[in-house]
Structure 1
Amino acid sequence: MKTHDPLFEPLALGPLTLPNRIVMPPMTRSRATQPGDEANALMAHYYAQRASAGLIVSEGTYISPLGKGYAGTPGLCTPRQVAGWRCVTDAVHAAGGRIYAQLWHVGRLSHTSLLGGRQPVSSSAIQADGVNVFIENEDGSPNFVQASAPRALSINEIKGIVEEYREAARNAMAAGFDGVELHAANGYLVNQFLDSQANARTDEYGGSLNNRIRFLDEVARALIDAVGDAGRVGIRLAPLTTLNGCVDADPVQTYTAAAQRLGEIGVGYIHIAEADWDDAPDMPLSFKQTLRRVYPGVLIYAGKYTAERAREALESGWADLVAFGRPFVANPDLPHRLRNDEPLAEHDRATLFGGGARGLTDYPSYPSRQERVV
């Protein structure tokens, strides 16, 4: 065990004190109860198993029926959905953990079969060509299909979605979450306003950089208003990725401006999703240092971090917390393993989306030294 380990120093986040710098980031698992897309006892067990994380951010949770993009994902817009999530937060808190709700509107990354036959919506009527979404066939078997063509939102509809975010944040707090994270990354709705090549609008929500940031700004302020504490609000961004078809002509300029605006608004943290595929380019250190300079809050980084890389990031000062995604799938006791340099189990890709306990709650914790000797 390391005598001084930056991964295990406490950190103040809004009104919370996190016991370590390890974050479990949002990961879609598609196990919500059907019909109704409600969080359930199985999900409560899954999250409670991982409560030793400094912070858990829930899987993406849709704010309204039109915001849903994948089969089996939970919502946070009906009383039963709120009650389902209350079971989850109670279990996490009973296990000593802290959990934020990730609020999600997928925009154009959906399919008419998930929306009751309705057309997906976006900043603009631009289809995400070649992007597939997860649906279920009539027999319940999984399938991936091309996202349906979207229609552009009217200004009144945009204002309405801001209010849906506000209401979802209120629901999150009623469900017992410690805070909320806005999913503004990975090609989803907020990203579809931010990135220049996904936004062809000519009104106050498109064109100039200031206009493209407007929707992010309005939603962030609505979330702070709803939860009553800017420190309980985080924003997830994916500055230099082109995931799900969202591309920006000058991402460094766009996301530096976005981070600066979020700092002015006062949100508690920004959660940076780096590209995590095998041959993805590294995010330049200069850009990370720029984000640190323009944003005064807590910075979380996620993207295939090892314990060694995470410690280097924390010691360098440009990261305050590090998120470990896939390692948390197969290692419910990940902080213990990282602290003690124990080996990490590998997850089963076939069980990531949909199904039951297999591949969700049946991964064991690492045996203690005493257990191994016996």
Structure 2
Amino acid sequence: MNSEKKLLTSLITPSLTFSNRVVMAPMSRRRSSNGVPGATAHIYYGQRAGAGLIIAENSAVAANGIGYLDAPGIYNEEQKAAWKKVVEEVHAANGKIFIQLVHTGRIGHPLNHENSAQLVAPSVVRAAGEMRVPGDLHLSIPAPLELSTAETQETVQAFVKAALNAIEVGFDGVEVHGAHGFLIEQFLHPHTNQRTDQYGGSIANRARFLLEVTQGIADAIGKERTGIRLSPFAVLNDLPAYTEELATHQHITAALEEMGILYIHLSSQPLNGQPSITADYIRDLRSHFSKLLIVAGTQTEASAEALLQAGLVDLVAFGRPFIANPDLVERFRQNQPLSPGDVDTFYQGGDKGYVDYPVWCEKADPCKV
């Protein structure tokens, strides 16, 4: 046993107790036909319930926000019923599970949406790149429609309703996806936000959508069950670096501190051979945000332990290692090697590469889950 590892120690908050500090990061596995989590989604998440916290994959709050082929949503009854089964499986294994709420905005394709709903965004700025659509075709991402002020406010309410749906089916909380170049970050970014109403222009106006979504959810389900994911400096989904980025995130941090939500989850990305989020940035954020801090991005057991021992973060999220190692926490506990994942099945497929990865045990061959 390695009881001295802080990564394996429990974390107690006034509302939730996490059995360890390992978080299963939200990963889009794209096995949700018509936006409904697949028949074995409960098995997939249940197998990984040893994590201190699972954050279920990004799930759309509206039909025009799914973006990727076979990504899930949580805005209709069929989706809620499928997610309820997932939650019950995780809770039966004594796990904790949040769901990440997303609207992908200009990233997507109408062919991946119910009734071919058009893409929407803060402004009519087309994203570079292609999107996989039915028939295994890859088509250019079209230009989005600009959300009116009223439609923007309706989208805030769509996030709030999705959060209420999540709590109704039993999730322990929700994470707002404010990262990776999706709709919320599109509002933050001056490249994609060229508006002249109260949601555009200044840093405060560009941050308004993010803060209204987060505050609305916190008011609806409780700030102690509300987290947010951010990816400053990551330049994902055709969003270039910009001069006000640091100041923008400092403004957001101050507002989130005042809001008192449960956590900020930082998603760091490789950028020119270095992490997009530096230790200095984490240290500065830590000094201005008193609640929980999670960091994700190519973490190893050793790097996670170092972050925890240094007091920089409270929990550490792992993505790909959880795909091929459903018993990741136990492998950390037993100092066992990690299995590699099948990259070809990361973002598409059936049960192969999804629920068939074995757990480790003391035999010549790995045990089956």
Q: Tell which deviates more after alignment, 254-263 or 109-118.
A: 109-118
Give 1:119 deviation, angstroms.
Answer: 2.4
1:270 is paired with a residue whose SS is strand
Q: Rate the CA distance shift 1:290–1:2 in 2: closer, same or farther, 3 A.
A: same
How do 1:194-213 and structure 2 match up within 5 A? 194-213=188-207
Q: How many Å apart are 1:118 and its aligned residue? A: 3.4
| Cα distance in structure 2, aligned partners of 1:72 and 1:14 | 37
Where 1:41 maps in the other structure, the secondary structure is coil
Q: Which runs of 4+ in 1 moved over 6 A?
A: 369-372
Q: Considering only aligned residues, what root-mean-square deviation do their CA atoms show, in Å?
A: 1.7
Decide whether aligned partners of structure 1 residues 369 and 15 sit closer, same or farther in structure 2, where only a CA change above 3 A counts: farther
| Aligned: 1:287 with 2:281 | yes
Cross-structure match for 1:71: 69
Say if 2:188 and 2:207, in contact at 8 Å, map to a contact too: yes
Q: Give the number of aligned pairs.
A: 364
Are 1:126 and 2:125 counterparts?
A: yes
Q: 1:134 to 1:13 in 2, by over 3 A?
A: farther
TM-score (norm 2): 0.95
Q: Secondary structure at the match of 1:301?
A: strand
Name the CA distance, whole Å, in 1 between partners of 2:319 and 2:85.
Answer: 23
* 1:118-169 Cα deviation digits (max 9, x unpaired): 321111111112x3333221xxxx3433222112111000010011111101
Show the 5 A alignment for 1:30-41. Answer: 30-32=30-32, 34=33, 36-41=34-39
Q: CA separation in 1, counterparts of 2:257 and 2:320?
A: 29
Aligned residue for 2:256?
262
Go from structure 1 to structure 2 and tell me whether the alpha carbon gap of 1:305 and 1:184 turns closer, same or farther (over 3 Å shift): same
Aligned twin of 2:27: 27
Q: Which residue of 1 aligns with 2:167?
A: 173
Name the counterpart of 2:110. Answer: 112
Do the aligned partners of 1:14 and 1:232 also contact (CA within 8 Å) in 2? no
Q: Aligned partners of 1:282, 1:113: CA distance in 2, in Å? A: 33
> Which residue in 2 is equivalent to 1:153?
147
Specify which of 206, 227, 233 is matched with residue 234 of structure 1: 227
Letter matched to residue 228 of structure 2? I
Contact kept, 8 Å, 1:333 with 1:366, in 2: the verdict is yes
Q: Contact between 2:267 and 2:296, CA under 8 Å: does it hold in 1?
A: yes
Aligned amino acid, residue 234 of structure 1 = G
Distance in 1 between residues matched to 2:4 and 2:281, nearest whole Å: 28
The letter of the residue matching 1:153 is: L
Q: 1:161 to 1:320 in 2, by over 3 A?
A: same
Which residues of 2 match residues 39-50 of structure 1 at below 5 A? 39-50=37-48
Superimposed CA distance per residue, residues 184-214 of structure 1 (whole angstroms, 9 cap, x where no aligned partner) = 1000000001122221112211111111110
Once residues 166 and 3 of structure 1 are traced to their aligned partners in structure 2, the CA distance between those partners, rounded to angstroms, is 40
Pairing 1:317-336 to 2, within 5 Å after superposition? 317-336=311-330
Give the Cα separation in 2 of the matches to 1:96 and 1:134.
37
Match in the other structure for 1:362: 356
Question: Cα distance 1:14–1:31, how it changes in 2: closer, same or farther (>3 A)?
Answer: farther
